[in-house]
Amino acid sequence: MFRVRIIWGLLLLGFISIIVARAAFAGPDQSNSPLASPRPLDQVGFPHELYGWVIPPDNPQTPAKVALGKQLFFDKRLSEDNTEACASCHKPDKGFTDQQPTSDGIHHQFGQRNAPTVLNAAFNVLQFWDGREPTLEDQAKDPIVNPIEMGMKNFDEVVARVNGIPEYQEKFKAVFGGPATMIDIQRAIASYERTQVSFNSAFDRFMAGDQNAISAQAKRGWAIFNGKGRCMSCHGWNPTQPMFSDNRFHNIGVSAHKSNFVPLARKALALLARGGGAQQLDELAIQTDMSGLGRFLVTKDPHDIGGFRTMGLRNLLVTQPYFHDGSQATLWDVVDHYNKGGVQNPFLDGGIVPLGLSEPEIDDLVAFLATLTSPEYLSAAQVEFRKQLKLSRTSRPQRDTAAAMGQLGRNGPGFEGPFGDIGPDQNQMAENPALLGGR
Amino acid sequence: MHRYQVALLLAAGGLVSSAGMAIAPRVLNAQQPVAHHPVPATKNGNVVVMLCDGKTSLEIKGLKPGHTMTHDQATAVARQLMQKWQRAHPGELWQMAQEEGTQMRPTTTEQGNPSPNLPSAPNQPPSGEAPNPVPHPANPVQEQVQGVPVHRQAQPQQQGDTYASFNQRDFRVWQAETQKFVEYGKRVFHSDKLLGGTIGVSCDMCHPDAANTHPETYPKYQVQLQRVALLRDMIEWCIENPVKGATMSPNDPRLRALEAYILAQRKGVPLNYGKH
Amino acid sequence: MAVRHKSVETKYMEQRDAVLRGLRWLDRRSFLKAAAAAAGAVMARGLMPPHSFQLIEIANAATSKDFGTVGHQGSAPFRIAYISDSHLYERTLNQRFIRAIVRAVEDVNALDPQPDFVLYGGDLAQLGTRQQLDLGRQILAELKPPVKMMVGEHDWFLDLGDAWQEMFGPPNYSFDWKGVHFVVLMSVHEKDFWTARHMTPMERMRTVAGLDNPIQSRFEVGEEERKWLAADLAKVPHTTPLVVFSHSPLYKYYRDWNFWTEDAEQVQALLQPFSQVTVIHGHTHQMLFNRIGNINFYGMLSTAWPWPYAPQGLPPLTIQMNRADPFDQLDGCGDGQFMMRADGLVDTIYALWDRNPVSVPAGYLLSGGKSDRPPAPQFASY
């Protein structure tokens, strides 16, 4: 069975490489790209159990519905001036992101948040960086009516426009038994998005028992990921939920770069107190400097200030740049950020502490992260990896070795106490989790 | 099949390690090495397996080291090994594992009231060479030795080189050794120095009397590790994180003693693996 | 990427870290100078330091009917902040506990409005050395409101209170503030277990420092101090609101861990004649509240680490705090505030770090748990 999958994976890989090459010249509309097609569930590492739990009972997957959803996903007529589709910011060849720090909406307006990938979004417990919508169905409607994303006036306008297109009349009747409604539009789009599941990575093959699937360096990185790097505490992997996310919200200090949390939070509370519902929340998150408050906008709980959802890590070499504001260009920058203990702020998560990772350890960790690439994105990821590697040799804006090593360094002269809460010997692993792959 | 489970497992253990395991629950203190019972060599280099009494051994004709037996062969070997033991100990009763949930060790119980059916006669082994079924005392005599209930064997048939021959002194020795091990664990638990900590933090600072260590809930999914953990995984994690020390080797006597102390503090709490 | 803009907040935190780093080698004078410079840098911009954000006021105003109302006794409501159980080691050994108490100091300094005073709840030091106490004194000196000090057993049993009293004065005293009579007790006396055992002072200290060490005796206020308390209270009308600060709980919770005051009943008897009595204690490092007779009891959080709930004796009115996550060094720790109400009773806010604050109004205790119930934990203690 396993061998069959490998062969299947190799075939797919070859096939995909051709497609990727072709997709690069395919122009803006990628709806015909194989990368846009529903993906098979028979992938190494695919969480069948979990997938069964995340399909909503009131919106089962059917081929006709998925096809309809796909058409809607790529249809620019869902935007006010017919220039933006969902796919404009969630491009299949770019890992269903736009690879920009923040996204370009109608009339070239830019929001405050980095476009998260659609890949494996089916498995998110909550949607958006701040979890302001619970499901893919709920999520799908917000960008359509956001003034600087797709800019439709309201949902009635969306429904009217869809129903005015004969092709859609026919298809909605076939799939949902009547003219389009907003919720059915959302259901169709969500159904399509749930087909974008992407596993089959070298890491998945390693975990399935192929010791040669990842390099020795990546294996060291996997050990760091689970040990000294403390990554797994939020980005944990297990076979039941292999998504590398705890689906929780953490302040790691990203928006402390440019936000004054306290006055912002006061301002947000005052605005929210007037009560504008989901749409107001969406606009605050996308269009204002209150975006940096993150989860707080949704819960109004002080401990959620500056907290953002833990993103999954799969295919992260095609979903750059990183963090909720797209502020970091390379994985080295991301690791540097964590290594120095994030950016200090009063709401910083108590688990974010300096890590004391050395330069080789950082390289190992990034090498591991690169193994999370699915085969259909392998060549694009290799290009990006080389680009980031090159950049990281000359530019490391987030690096702060003194902070990472406990201010004065663990072995600095006369320094007896670990300032940065760094243990003396975290290289020692009770057990290298890399060995798990050999079972 | 259940009747052979224990013997079979022990024999299989011998196969792998080429050394039998001591039947006595030998309690190791911190410095004591694990005892080994080498098996006798054979002329033609066949594998020899040993029973867990550390004495009874059997050469397996035609099996060389590194080769494995089928399940049926292993079952037959286990049976032969048991028969050999029974021949050497006529009239003695081997405490067979009866069914799941039946205790193997007959001698002491927590309540000082051994279940009367506990050491019941084993079912007739299919080999035919069964030990004589021995009627069991309906009301075994109990006495207290320093708070340890002791089941004194009244039947002469029970005497011999087995469990049944252990006396009060043996129990006291075992108890004292166990207690020393736990006491050592307690010292480690309360000492940032012994733990190898670097910031003055020891286990008892957050876990007085090992409170909130809940050893009975392991194995369970441990969020800090993002995987299923055993108690000792979490001990290691705590040594590495709040204590800021170096993780210990699995054989480190300090780690073993810590585990012993933590478990000892929860004596009597039902096992409840996976509880959160 | 280009060098990013640094917020005022980030700069403030960097300055704070610089101060903290300075603790390593600075003497007290230089430390204060550096600390003042950092604080001044923020104040000069007319900006509040980050912890001034106090959402709890909004939450509290919404849930507590009593707070902020005009009192029938004419005394204005006011606020007391607390910091407790910091267990400082020498600065070279452990800086995690230092960072925690510094965070608490910043929390308090940022309260708006400022509290009338700050109670330090005892156990400033871990092993009672002069260096540990002095380090704590330096950090507490950064508090903007006046500080009322209370002694804990970790401060006392190395030299039986010499260094602490030298720095902070007598361990038991009383004062009046805005119509409320406050008493601070030294409630961690122990019977002499050390002389007969020929213990060194440090052995004695380490014995007391271990919660589960059975050798030590139980805490007590002691006969002499009870006499002092009786005499002090004799001057106070029974209608005057009374607040007693004590490091040990002044009731019997769990003997094995010295969550216990041996002469609790005698002390309680001295407090019973008063119509509004609140006892505020340290030592237990957890959300803990109780009502015995007419006395409301509140335990304070620690800045250093949370204790688990004891296996027996937990007051039935206590709502446990969620089990602490050891991955998060701040979880289960914090500081807090007492809202002195116009009616002479006290509402308590447990400002748990990395969690939402929990408000425990006096009405919850008064009603025997029927009203104003704080939220229950998802994971109670084992």
What the block records as the tokens of B153 is 């064997």
Does residue C211 belong to the interface with chain B, where contact is any CB pair within 8 Å? yes
Rounded CA-CA distance A71/C238 in Å is 79
Catalytic sites of A, residue numbers: 149
Q: Which residues in chain C have their CB less than 8 angstroms from residue A265's CB? A: 53, 55
Which residues, in sequence order, are CB contacts of A44 under 8 Å at separation 6+?
A2, A5, A6, A9, A199, A200, A201, A204, A205, A208
The residue among B190, B188, B229 whose CA lies nearest residue B207 is: B190
Among 1.10.287, 1.10.760, 3.30.450, 2.40.50, name the CATH number for the domain at A202-254+309-438. 1.10.760
Q: E-strand spans in A198-355?
A: 249-250, 308-309
* Domain ranges (residues) in chain A: 2-193, 202-254+309-438, 260-305
The residue among B164, B144, B173 whose CA lies nearest residue B26 is: B173
Rounded CA-CA distance C38/A420 in Å is 20
**pLDDT for the residue numbered B240:** 87
Rounded CA-CA distance B53/B24 in Å is 8
Does residue B70 belong to the interface with chain A, where contact is any CB pair within 8 Å? no
Residue A247 DSSP symbol:
-
Answer whether C3 sits within 8 Å of A397, measured CB to CB: yes
Say if residue B43 is exposed, middle or buried (CB neighbours under 10 Å; 0-12, 13-18, 19+): exposed
The residue among C370, C233, C185 whose CA lies nearest residue C291 is: C370
**For chain C, which chains pass the contact test of at least 3 CB pairs under 8 Å?**
A, B
The size of chain A, in residues, is 439
What the block records as the tokens of C209 is 């420092």
The residue among A364, A136, A190, A345 whose CA lies nearest residue A260 is: A345
Does residue A77 belong to the interface with chain C, where contact is any CB pair within 8 Å? no
Angle, in degrees to the nearest 10, between helices B253-265 and B231-240: 120
Answer whether A430 sits within 8 Å of B247, measured CB to CB: yes
Does residue A410 belong to the interface with chain C, where contact is any CB pair within 8 Å? no
Residue A416, CB half-sphere, CA atoms under 13 Å: how many?
12
Q: Which residues in chain C have their CB less than 8 angstroms from residue B190's CB? A: 210
Is the alpha carbon torsion for C218, C223, C226, C228 positive or negative?
negative
Does residue C315 belong to the interface with chain A, where contact is any CB pair within 8 Å? no
pLDDT (tens, 9 = 90+) of chain A, 439 residues, equals 455 455 555 545 545 544 444 433 334 578 899 999 999 999 999 999 999 999 999 999 999 999 999 999 999 999 999 999 999 999 999 999 999 999 999 999 999 999 999 999 999 999 999 999 999 999 999 999 999 999 999 999 999 999 999 999 999 999 999 999 999 999 999 999 999 999 999 999 999 989 999 999 999 999 899 888 989 889 988 888 999 999 999 999 998 877 778 788 888 888 888 877 888 889 899 999 899 999 999 998 888 999 999 999 999 999 999 999 999 999 999 999 999 888 877 788 888 888 889 999 999 999 999 999 999 999 999 999 999 999 999 999 999 887 787 654 333 333 333 444 565 544 444 455 555 544 4
Answer whether C1 sits within 8 Å of A328, measured CB to CB: yes
Tell me the shortest Cα–Cα distance from C63 to chain A, in angstroms.
Answer: 15
Q: Which residues in chain A have their CB less than 8 angstroms from residue B195's CB? A: none
Rounded CA-CA distance A72/A69 in Å is 5
Q: What ipTM was estimated for this complex?
A: 0.78
Are A410 and A418 spatial neighbours (Cβ–Cβ below 8 Å)?
yes
Give first-to-last CA distance, chain B, whole Å: 36
Closest partner residue to A258 among C7, C95, C331, by Cβ? C7
Furthest C-alpha separation in chain A: 78
What the block records as the tokens of A112 is 């405050």
Answer whether B242 sits within 8 Å of C382, measured CB to CB: no
Q: Which domains does chain B have, with CATH numbers?
A: 2-88 (no CATH), 143-167 (no CATH), 172-265 (1.10.760.10)
CATH topology for A2-193 is Cytochrome Bc1 Complex; Chain D, domain 2 (1.10.760)
Are A328 and A334 spatial neighbours (Cβ–Cβ below 8 Å)?
yes
Q: Which residues in chain B have their CB less than 8 angstroms from residue A313's CB? A: none
* Tens-place pLDDT, residues C333-370: 999 999 999 999 999 999 998 888 899 999 999 999 99
Q: Which residues in chain B have their CB less than 8 angstroms from residue C257's CB? A: 208-209
The residue among C85, C87, B252, C342 whose CA lies nearest residue A428 is: B252
Query: With bands split at pLDDT 50, 70 and 90, how would you rate the model's confidence at C5?
Result: low
Tell me the shortest Cα–Cα distance from C20 to chain A, in angstroms.
Answer: 9
Which of A263-267, B142-146, B189-193 ranks highest by mean pLDDT?
B189-193
Residues 230-249 in B contacting A (C-alpha not used; CB under 8 Å)? 233, 236-237, 240-241, 244-247
Look up residue C302 and give its amino acid. Answer: S
Overall average pLDDT of the C45-74 stretch: 35
Determine which of C5, C48, C53, C111 to mutate to test the interface with A (most A C-beta atoms within 10 Å). C53
Q: What HEC string does C277-324 produce?
A: EEEEECCCCCCEEEEECCEEEEECCCCCCCCCCCCCCCCCCCCCCCCC
Are A319 and A99 spatial neighbours (Cβ–Cβ below 8 Å)?
yes
Determine which of A226, A260, A408 to mutate to test the interface with C (most C C-beta atoms within 10 Å). A260
The residue among B59, B6, B51 whose CA lies nearest residue B162 is: B51
Residue A267, CB half-sphere, CA atoms under 13 Å: how many?
13
Closest partner residue to A238 among B227, B246, B247, by Cβ? B227
Range of lowest pLDDT (A181-190, B158-167, C121-130): B158-167
Report whether pLDDT(C208) > 60.
yes
A230 φψ region: left (φ > 0), alpha (ψ -120 to 50), beta (else): left
Rounded CA-CA distance C75/B271 in Å is 56
* Tens-place pLDDT, residues B213-272: 999 999 999 887 888 899 999 999 899 888 988 888 888 999 999 999 999 999 999 999
Say if residue A259 is exposed, middle or buried (CB neighbours under 10 Å; 0-12, 13-18, 19+): buried
Determine which of A320, A343, A352, A400 to mutate to test the interface with C (most C C-beta atoms within 10 Å). A343
CB atoms within 10 A of CB B33: 6
Q: What global pTM score does this model have?
A: 0.75
CATH topology for C53-366 is Purple Acid Phosphatase; chain A, domain 2 (3.60.21)
Rounded CA-CA distance C295/C240 in Å is 14
Are A123 and A49 spatial neighbours (Cβ–Cβ below 8 Å)?
no
Does residue C370 belong to the interface with chain B, where contact is any CB pair within 8 Å? no
Answer whether A416 sits within 8 Å of C95, measured CB to CB: no
Q: Any idea what the Cα angle at residue A382 is, between residues A381 and A386, rounded to 5°? A: 115
The residue among C143, C121, C133, C212 whose CA lies nearest residue C165 is: C133
Closest partner residue to A350 among C6, C48, C328, by Cβ? C328
Q: How many CB pairs under 8 A join A and C?
A: 99
Tell me the shortest Cα–Cα distance from A422 to chain B, in angstroms.
Answer: 7
* Tens-place pLDDT, residues C239-288: 999 999 999 999 999 999 999 999 999 999 999 999 999 999 999 999 99
Answer whether C308 sits within 8 Å of B206, measured CB to CB: yes
Which residues, in sequence order, are CB contacts of B166 under 8 Å at separation 6+?
B107
* Domain ranges (residues) in chain C: 1-47, 53-366
Rounded CA-CA distance B52/B23 in Å is 5
What mean pLDDT, rounded, does chain C reach?
84
Q: Which residues in chain A have their CB less than 8 angstroms from residue C357's CB? A: 302
Q: Any idea what the Cα angle at residue C360 is, between residues C357 and C364, rounded to 5°? A: 155
**For chain B, which chains pass the contact test of at least 3 CB pairs under 8 Å?**
A, C
**pLDDT for the residue numbered C65:** 37
Rounded CA-CA distance A352/A339 in Å is 9
